[in-house]
Amino acid sequence: MQNIRNIAIIAHVDHGKTTLVDKIIHATSVFRENQADSGDLIMDNNDLERERGITILSKNISVMYKGTKINVIDTPGHADFGGEVERVLKMADGVLLLVDAFEGPMPQTRFVLHKALELGLKPIVVINKVDKPNCRPDEVHDKVFDLFFNLEATEEQLDFPTFYGSSKQGWFNTSLEPAEDITPLLDGIIQYVPEPETFEGSLQMQITSLDFSSFLGRIAIGKIRRNSIKEGQTIGLAQEDGKVIRGKVKELYVFEGLGKKKVQEVQAGDICAIVGFDKFQIGDSFVDLENPEPLPRTAIDEPTLNMTFSINNSPFFGKDGKYVTSNHLKERLYKELEKNLALKVEPTDDANTFLVFGRGILHLSVLIETMRREGYEMTIGQPQVIIREIDGVKCEPYESMVVDVPDEYASKVIDLATQRKGDLHIMETKGEMQHMEFEIPSRGLIGLRSQMLTATAGEAIMAHRFTDYKPFKGSIPGRSVGVLISKGQGPATEYSIAKLQDRGKFFVDPGEEIYEGMIIGEQNKPGDLVVNIVEAKQLNNMRASGKDKDGNIAPKQLFSLEECMEYIQGDEAIEVTPNFIRMRKKILSENERKRIERGAKG
């Protein structure tokens, strides 16, 4: 048996988790001298993760240090990917809790840490970014202790070792005295994290994660709890319905460095990847055929939102994307189900439209963003929360929302949250900041972030996580103003935009191609207004075309994909193509919209 330590890293978004993993990779010389160094954020290997600075998918790496194999499990820090975290913790025996020396433990940390402590994992606390001005490592250490205490940690878990340092500068130590490198932390992992506990008996391995390869198909990942697995061995797969399927291990891999290494046999306690089974789900167990004893299953977070995905039917259909048909869309969405476990896809009455269920706005926007980068065109509807009936009562998902904001903006935050049916439960002062905790329906969160950032001059720090389904809280006010809708198709003109400036803010620049029914701006007051901004100035012999150019046009308002998702109303949609994100009315023709409106009133 080789020496093994399995450790998961938990941290809030932006607390330096991925940077720390990079430093571990460098310190243990995973890159040979002659290999090109792949720079920073090695673990965030898809473009979206690098751009947004968040870890979306949990990943495994493995390093050798002083004759011990350390399996490092990098976990996502965002609430929408909480389902990932819970499962991967099952592979770990210890957890590294990484906390920012200024911000202290954040709400998302609390959620994941609670799961880790419940599983009985041994914690090591790492207080990062002690090089930052205004940091308060001692105060943060006390706050972490309070958090452990509130989460009902055991006596042993409360006696956690603490390391201080800066992953950016590449050092960690047991005191605030800078060290040469991160070896004190690596020594601490070997000292404090227990070796994996293995048990006597027939084979047991639960699938806690999965991978997909176009060459090998679906790959099951998990930690072997009992016995061992050999390449070519015939074993059983215990499924949710109690059936045990017979199958053969075609290929067997362990993690080594940033990749996988093919092996003949893996012993209990190690994390491995198995090829050869297709019909498995997260939570299924590999067992002995003669004596199957599956492990208890892990529940996966239920989706809380749904959106319609349909083909792009705007006049600009097919101009920009490579995959534009409903078959392309269907294949891509069903392929995503292979590895995106909190996602569900259902067909609708319309063959060109699919209903997609996800964990939150970020979860769904990451999927849309990935698809548009791959060359897909589609139309996305307004996000809707999932309503359930529980014991005859109409219920909706609720979230716990935490907002940290400077004193002077606290009342604005409370006002905005209350308008959206949020209840304030905790309010306390943290230095110059007010720390507030609300319970709010998931519906209330749609569009709230952008409003809150506007009201607090960008100072609000907001995080939320799903808690439970509770009775429906009544209607929540939507957008308070109307939109400006294009009457015609063609390039927007500077002349028309300048004339209409007093009507509202524009989302397009002069020269931009627009079409009828496209949302081109926001009106200053309620109600939608159809305007013509493709009209050019009439020229006669008295005026030369180059004179009196209107140079006083305000710059257009830019929207990210998530902001568009939060902005649109029920009769609106988003056209997403590889190079453009446009908001539009579902029904583009003004006459058609009026006819339907008259019919609804009649």
Yes or no: say if 345 and 337 are a contact pair by the CB < 8 Å rule: yes
Q: How far is CA 583 from CA 380, 493, 521, 563, in A?
A: 10, 19, 10, 11
Cβ-proximal residues to 381 (8 Å cutoff; 6+ apart), any chain: 307, 308, 309, 310, 573, 586
Q: Which residues are annotated as a binding site for GTP?
A: 14-19, 128-131
Q: Are 6 and 268 in contact (CB under 8 A)?
A: no
What is the CA 288 to chain-centroid distance, rounded? Answer: 36
Q: Return the SS3 of 310.
A: strand
CA distance 287 to 236: 5
d(C-alpha 231, C-alpha 574), whole Å: 49
- Bridge partners (DSSP) listed for residue 112: none
What is the CB-side half-sphere exposure of residue 309 using CA atoms within 13 A?
A: 33
Question: Residues comprising the binding site?
Answer: 14-19, 128-131
For residue 449, CA distances in Å to 361, 381, 401 come to: 11, 19, 11
- Opening angle at CA 567, ends 565 and 569, nearest 5: 95
The neighbour count for residue 114, using CB atoms within 10 Å, is: 15
CA-to-CA distance for 187 and 161, rounded, in angstroms?
12
CA dist 212 → 18, 132, 217, 275, 280 (Å): 22, 40, 6, 10, 12
CA angle 10, 13, 16 (to 5 degrees): 70
